[in-house]
């Protein structure tokens, strides 16, 4: 469907129609997102103990696959289809505890906590019953630090997806970071999901759009490092603001790193600051409408309000304003595609290459 030149010096961006065509939006639903890893938001607060359970949709209002995250009696986390294999009713409707296992409120079908069919009334005379189709489908589930991820049909080995992330920030005790609801919120952006990612994936616009952020970062030292499935932008402080105390032996030791901005294909951003972590989850809703969920996890409250992560709400609203203007622009009959700035837009080039790969 698309081809992006591997040499960034010759490459052109995705065409404007990529961000506006409903058919492309639909293609991304199955070819990109159904094969991706998605964070199960709220799992770390809701499903902690044996028998805890939380129903959720794989991607709310986009890929509405009903799923169930739970811990069995031994505390093992599992992700199952939340649809009864008899007549399709949703099994668990609210978060809670499964003291009596999983049962359907429609006709009484029961399942073990590993998804295996247990029983159902009025089955006399049924042939070839039960069979594998009567069990609940087990959905791939993985854990990174305190966060849970699910995939409907994973195209990327999870350990490969997170390997470079671990290498860079493995020194941080992410398991100890505490969710801060007061600093977490959702934003609706009148633009295509990929356009929002494009904007995130380059620091080129920082001096022009984010004056307050540019005041604390050394833009000349700002850089992007690209790996197979993810990339990271590294913001270097100008001096005097909060920076990471990197351990000896770290590959960036001796540098005044004020922020690590990780993007994991296709729609997850993990932004690490000396105070903790800000997560951006980019959720498509329509070809020209996106929901971005910000979730903050605080490690050191004494460092809040300073440095590169000081006013994330302001930065987000500045990004929204410019991205929405770009969405209007790419609809123009006179816009075909752009070119990549070789130093500043490596992350965008990487993203477009992966999109072309997945869309075939």
* CB-based burial, 159-187: b 16+ in 10 Å, e otherwise: eebbebbeebbeebebeebebeeebeeeb
Q: Decide if pLDDT at 309 tops 60.
A: no
Provide the pLDDT for residue 214.
66
Per-residue pLDDT reduced to its tens digit, 31-75: 999 999 999 999 999 999 999 999 999 999 999 999 999 999 999
Q: Are the CB atoms for 164 and 81 separated by under 8 Å?
A: no
Percent of the chain with pLDDT over 90: 87
Q: How confident is the model at residue 151 (pLDDT cuts 50, 70, 90)?
A: very high
Per-residue pLDDT reduced to its tens digit, 73-112: 999 999 999 999 999 999 999 999 999 999 999 999 999 9
Per-residue pLDDT reduced to its tens digit, 349-359: 999 999 999 99
Q: How many CB atoms lie within 10 A of CB 23?
A: 10
Q: What integer best gives the mean pLDDT of the chain?
A: 94
Structure tokens at 275: 């105070």
Phi, psi values for residue 289, rounded to 5°: -145, 130
Structural domains of the chain, ranges and CATH numbers in brackets: 38-144 (2.102.10.10), 157-359 (3.90.380.10)
Q: Are the CB atoms for 275 and 303 separated by under 8 Å?
A: yes
Q: Decide if pLDDT at 307 tops 70.
A: no
Q: Are the CB atoms for 277 and 300 separated by under 8 Å?
A: no
Per-residue pLDDT reduced to its tens digit, 230-259: 999 999 998 777 899 999 999 999 999 999
Provide the pLDDT for residue 91.
98
106-125: average pLDDT? 96
Helix (H) or strand (E) holding 326: helix 312-330
Q: Are the CB atoms for 216 and 152 separated by under 8 Å?
A: no
- Contacts of residue 244, Cβ cutoff 8 Å, sequence gap at least 6: 257, 258, 260, 272, 274
**pTM of this structure:** 0.93
Q: Decide if pLDDT at 275 tops 80.
A: yes
Let me know the angle formed at the C-alpha of 124 by 121 and 127, rounded to the nearest 5 degrees: 115
């Amino acid at each position: 469907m698309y081809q992006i030149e591997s040499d960034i010096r010759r490459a052109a961006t995705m065409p404007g129609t990529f961000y506006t065509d409903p058919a492309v939006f639909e293609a991304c639903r199955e070819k990109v997102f159904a094969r991706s890893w998605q964070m199960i938001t709220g799992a770390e607060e809701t499903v902690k103990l044996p028998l805890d359970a939380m129903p959720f949709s794989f991607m709310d209002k986009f890929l509405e696959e009903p799923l169930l995250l739970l811990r069995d009696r031994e505390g093992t986390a599992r992700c199952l289809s939340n649809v009864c294999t008899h007549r399709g009713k949703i099994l668990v409707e609210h978060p809670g505890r499964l003291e009596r296992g999983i049962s359907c409120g429609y006709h009484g079908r029961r399942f073990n906590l590993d998804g295996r069919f247990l029983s159902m009334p009025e089955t006399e005379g049924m042939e070839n019953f039960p069979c594998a189709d009567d069990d609940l489908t087990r959905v791939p589930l993985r854990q990174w630090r305190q966060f849970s991820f699910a995939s409907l049909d994973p195209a990327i080995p999870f350990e490969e997806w997170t390997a470079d992330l671990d290498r860079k920030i493995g020194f941080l005790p992410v398991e100890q970071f505490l969710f801060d609801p007061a600093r977490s919120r959702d934003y609706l952006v009148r633009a295509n999901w990929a356009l929002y990612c494009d904007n995130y994936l380059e620091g080129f616009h920082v001096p022009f759009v984010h004056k307050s952020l540019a005041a604390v970062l050394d833009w000349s030292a700002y850089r992007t490092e690209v790996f197979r499935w993810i990339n990271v932008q590294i913001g270097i402080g100008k001096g005097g603001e909060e920076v990471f105390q990197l351990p000896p032996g770290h590959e960036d030791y001796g540098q005044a790193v004020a922020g690590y901005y990780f993007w994991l294909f296709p729609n997850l951003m993990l932004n690490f600051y000396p105070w903790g972590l800000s997560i951006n989850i980019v959720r498509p809703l329509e070809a020209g409408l996106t929901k971005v969920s910000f979730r903050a996890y605080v490690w050191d409250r004494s460092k809040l309000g300073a440095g590169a992560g000081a006013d994330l709400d302001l930065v987000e609203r500045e990004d929204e304003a410019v991205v929405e203007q770009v969405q209007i622009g790419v609809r123009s009959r006179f816009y075909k595609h752009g070119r990549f700035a070789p130093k500043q837009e490596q992350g965008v080039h990487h993203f477009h290459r992966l999109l072309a790969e997945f869309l075939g």
